[in-house]
Structure 1
């Protein structure tokens, strides 16, 4: 991955955090961070699992997205870069 500036990291952190909070059940925040497999898993579980479980799976994915969004926003920029961009930690 190309070296990102401090501003680009902050923008990515803010975008991922807010998308996690507001659209977390669809895994959009995972796609922003480049975790396509994790994003697809969240999207499929929310949509297909939500239909099968009458929305319970979508609710669970929403809670996971909310938690991850808050975690992203509360990390310092350096911690965020190290954990989610350098080490590529896809979950929590």
Structure 2
């Protein structure tokens, strides 16, 4: 007896893999990994880190050294409040070229 699964009728010997919808490319792990690795900067650019909880302020500073290959992280950043630190930016960070 055929079954109806999400609008597609399958017989007892029919292959379900042929009738699956292809995955959207934005949801593949390769695209997400490429977007995260795509951050690059040069000395003098600004790094803005958005607050990741409610009420947390955005932090910013000037990148003074780049330690990664091809402009990638980690960066030495002089923040607007005066302190300097080594930063491995997360997904809530943006590089603003100067």
TM category (shorter chain) comes to under 0.3
Larger CA Rg, structure 1 vs 2: 2
Structure with more helix by fraction: 1
Structure with more strand by fraction: 2
Q: TM-score under structure 1 normalisation?
A: 0.28
Higher relative contact order (CA 8 A, sep 6+): 1
